[in-house]
Structure 1
Amino acid sequence: MADSKETYDANVAGTTEATKTSSSPTYAEDVAVDNDGLGALPGDRPEGWMYRERKIGSLVVPWYASPMFQLLMVSFVCFTCPGMFNALGGLGGGGREDNVLVSNMNTALYSTFAVVGFFAGSFVNRLGVKVTLAFGGIGYCIYAISLLVSLKAKVDGFNYFAGALLGVCAGLLWTAQGTIMMSYPLESEKGRAFAWFWTIFNLGGVVGSLIPLGLNINRKEAAAVQDTTYIAFIVLMFFGAVLALFLCNADKVIRSDGSRVVLMKNPSWSSEFIGLWKTIIEDPYILLLFPMFWSSNWFTTYQTNSVNGAFFNIRTRSLNSLLYWFAQMIGAIVFGNALDIERFQRTTRAKASLVVLFVLTFVIWGGGYKWQTGFTRENKPPLMDYENKAFLAPMFLYMAYGFYDAAWQCCVYW
């Protein structure tokens, strides 16, 4: 899915190294500058509306240029862009009866995503998070528009272009998002920051799944989603792209302890790519994480197309999709907060998370294997409806897939 994350992980060294504050000099710090040359004592903030806390009843809203407020805004950008994309993809085949076109579009999508995502950190450094996020959001709109047009005419070329363009846009969007989520908060807040973001982001999938579920609640037959579903997705995706332009620049962000984000300032594109290369050379342990990055997203196509899209009718697919993203929200809250429990050392928490992931992998995917062996392409049963008594087992399996995905992503980001 283009909410896809593994490509961000692959280049996170480029952007996160570029934005962190460190006591030991690295390549990033050799070319980094404090944004306005002014330090800040813990708790100190400049004057101005950006740095004023506000109260809504008993609720204290963080200042606009705080890490958590900026993360909240990015969460809603992803709520409306990749969140809606996930809801659409979760229907199987992009909501179409025939998933061949969408499978080909996604091949183009992930081909460009994998390439652009690796270098996207350098683009974020040069263009800034606002422009990068907004441009990334536009790709989701065009993807959904191409699917809507394909219902009226055969426009395969446009569809494949939209898929490839979304790969470029998604690589940029997810890298900018990851930069904010992992670099803005304090070290002790990163797990909770992930929980915040992943919960709101996947709420987009939940809300997005309610749209086709409501529109198709009385349709038991196999069918594609209606035009109005695509139109609703397109409007929400465009809103998210515009919302990204209201983020503040990273050089204005001040953390709760008074520290600022340090940005990488390279004079040219060539120095950006040289910096990316030096980061990999200086921190080769990043390469050891590549298998985990790669495996963080490969199962999505199987779950959406070969499980949800292949075995259930349209209204049941919509329900499954809703429950899948809801389970992701639960997984993010559980794992995100658990990884920030400070009474255990960080290395202890990391090892414990790997053990839990190991157990979940064998339990959940073992159950999935058992269920899948009951079918083949030749003897696939009729499409199942949620009123069928046999629906409960695959429903809980699909929810478990969602919980597992959130747990894996949380550990990869953290």
Structure 2
Amino acid sequence: MARLRYHGPLAQVLIISFVCFLCPGMFNALNAMGGAGQVDRTVSNNTNTGIYCTLIVFGVVGGAIVNLLGIRWTTCLSGLTYALYTSSYIYYNHTSKGAFSMATGPILGIGAGILWSAQGMVMMSYPEEHKKGRYISVFWVVFNLGGVIGGIVPFAINYHVGKGSSAEPLPDASYVAFVALQVAGALCALALSPPSRVIRSDGSHVMLMRYTDVQHECLETLRLFRNPWMLLLLPLSLASNFFYSYQYGPYNGALFTLRTRGLNSMLYWAAQMAAAWAVSYLHDHQAMPRRTRGLLSLAVIAALTNAMWACTLAVQLRYTKGPDAQHPQGDYPGGLIDFSESPRAAGPMLLFCFMGAADAHLQSFAYWLIGTLTNDSQMLARYAGFYKGMQSLGAAIAWQLDAHQVPLVTQLAVNWALFNFAVPFTAWVAWRIKSHRDEVEDQAADDWLMDPDSKHL
């Protein structure tokens, strides 16, 4: 790994990684338990829908906001919106009124859109081309460490309740711990260096200073919707967060006891860390052309994801709903699963880890693929924002499917079909990526029709 310099790419990627580790990482850990730690998933589903509806807009415009206002304070203030969201569940624990939680959803959506645009810019534009896969994996490992620690918190706090207390919400102490960690993460953002001061190990500057203003950023944002690369990646963007609502609620939240859900969350994100690190060796394997690496990585994702959904279907056919006030043990044969029931718990728990590994490979691949289209930090901030915005559109739809109690097997089928619909469009982009590109060269719009490495372009 490169020597750590404060104004070097690695240090900056690590800083943004710790921001995400403590802010969205804790958010992910909380939601991975199903219902954000609540028994009734209705408030969480509606809140998450509000988050992702706002994120659709602010994901797309987030890159423009970061380009105009800079990265430090925009990211810091964005991180605080995660703490506001989590604190709302303390109020809900005491009042059973979900209005406050649902009101924090759109606020978090604004913050998340800006934060993820900044994150995408740092992760994809700061490294040299042959190190992008490695730096993406560094981010994903540190970021998902938040999910691991976030899973440890409720597991440790609730371990003593045993498997008898299945239909109980997270206690206040768990939420307070999450809030404290998220505030710390927001403050970490103040250590970020402006892109204009970041210098790579080879002496090249990350950002060539160019003038930008509100009008220019608005025009560039609108152009994203007719950019052939973004349109081809639209199905992948829609699919890439769609499955979270099913995996967190109808699977983890419906099948396991409270303490086991915390343990599962920890193992889910640990599997993500391992998978993200492993796939970086493929993405940066210089002995293979970049096009070959992209197509091979996509083929592995397709095989793993289809195997995952096939196994999930086998489990899903054994139950129809999760626990509720009238049926605290749900309708899975034998009741809710506790990790102490080893023979019964091993398969469903390993499958949840498999889901995490498949997700990490998919997300790492998506960012790596987008990072092959240009090295321009301003353009990549916009690309990252578009990806996150369209990703959030899919997530908003998915959370509403569960909120409206769409049959769980139908939710699974929609997830499975949407992923496979995205594969051929994504394969086309991987087939057309260029082997190497200049510092701020964008993948030409016409390259989607012609071989980008052709001498006749």
1:268 maps to which residue? 213
List aligned pairs for 1:77-226, cutoff 5 A: 77-219=19-161, 220=163, 221-222=165-166, 223-226=168-171
Superimposed CA distance per residue, residues 112-158 of structure 1 (whole angstroms, 9 cap, x where no aligned partner): 11121011111110011212211210110000111111111244322
The one-letter code of the counterpart of 1:237 is Q
Shift of 1:365: 1.1
The one-letter code of the counterpart of 1:410 is S
Shift of 1:271: 1.7
Mapped to 1, the partners of 2:183 and 2:76 lie a distance apart of: 9
Mapped to 2, the partners of 1:74 and 1:365 lie a distance apart of: 32
Mapped to 2, the partners of 1:60 and 1:346 lie a distance apart of: 22
1:25 maps to which residue? none
Which among 231, 252, 255 is matched to residue 287 of structure 1? 231
1:255 and 2:200 are equivalent in the alignment: yes
Superimposed CA distance per residue, residues 218-275 of structure 1 (whole angstroms, 9 cap, x where no aligned partner): 2121121111111111011001101101111111100011000225644531221112
Aligned 8 A contact 1:125 1:265 in 2:
no
1:297 and 2:241 are equivalent in the alignment: yes
Aligned 8 A contact 1:139 1:166 in 2:
yes
Mapped to 1, the partners of 2:277 and 2:201 lie a distance apart of: 22
Aligned 8 A contact 2:34 2:253 in 1:
yes
The one-letter code of the counterpart of 2:336 is L
Q: 1:231 to 1:179 in 2, by over 3 A?
A: same
1:321 maps to which residue? 265
The one-letter code of the counterpart of 2:216 is S
Q: Is the partner of 2:94 in helix, strand or coil?
A: coil
Shift of 1:341: 0.4
Which among 310, 333, 348 is matched to residue 394 of structure 1? 348
Query: Which sections of structure 2, spanning at least 5 residues, go unmatched?
Result: 322-329, 369-457
Q: 1:165 to 1:349 in 2, by over 3 A?
A: same
TM-score relative to the length of structure 2: 0.75
2:300 maps to which residue? 356
Q: Is the partner of 1:254 in helix, strand or coil?
A: coil
Mapped to 1, the partners of 2:123 and 2:306 lie a distance apart of: 30
Mapped to 2, the partners of 1:155 and 1:69 lie a distance apart of: 43
Mapped to 2, the partners of 1:379 and 1:261 lie a distance apart of: 55
Q: Is the partner of 1:216 in helix, strand or coil?
A: helix
Aligned 8 A contact 1:92 1:309 in 2:
yes
Superimposed CA distance per residue, residues 26-45 of structure 1 (whole angstroms, 9 cap, x where no aligned partner): xxxxxxxxxxxxxxxxxxxx
Mapped to 2, the partners of 1:135 and 1:401 lie a distance apart of: 31
Superimposed CA distance per residue, residues 85-138 of structure 1 (whole angstroms, 9 cap, x where no aligned partner): 111111111111221111111111111111210111111100112122112101
1:233 maps to which residue? 178
Superimposed CA distance per residue, residues 38-64 of structure 1 (whole angstroms, 9 cap, x where no aligned partner): xxxxxxxxxxxxxxxxxxxxx985110
Mapped to 2, the partners of 1:215 and 1:76 lie a distance apart of: 24
Mapped to 2, the partners of 1:167 and 1:141 lie a distance apart of: 13
Mapped to 2, the partners of 1:348 and 1:113 lie a distance apart of: 33
The one-letter code of the counterpart of 1:397 is L
How big is the alpha-carbon RMSD for the aligned residues of Structure 1 and Structure 2? Answer: 1.6
Mapped to 1, the partners of 2:236 and 2:224 lie a distance apart of: 19
Q: 1:343 to 1:267 in 2, by over 3 A?
A: closer
Q: Is the partner of 2:95 in helix, strand or coil?
A: coil
The one-letter code of the counterpart of 1:153 is T
Mapped to 2, the partners of 1:263 and 1:400 lie a distance apart of: 42
Shift of 1:168: 1.0
Query: Which sections of structure 1, spanning at least 5 residues, go unmatched?
Result: 1-58
Q: Is the partner of 2:193 in helix, strand or coil?
A: coil
Which among 332, 352, 363 is matched to residue 409 of structure 1? 363
The one-letter code of the counterpart of 1:387 is S
Mapped to 2, the partners of 1:138 and 1:266 lie a distance apart of: 30
Mapped to 2, the partners of 1:164 and 1:413 lie a distance apart of: 25
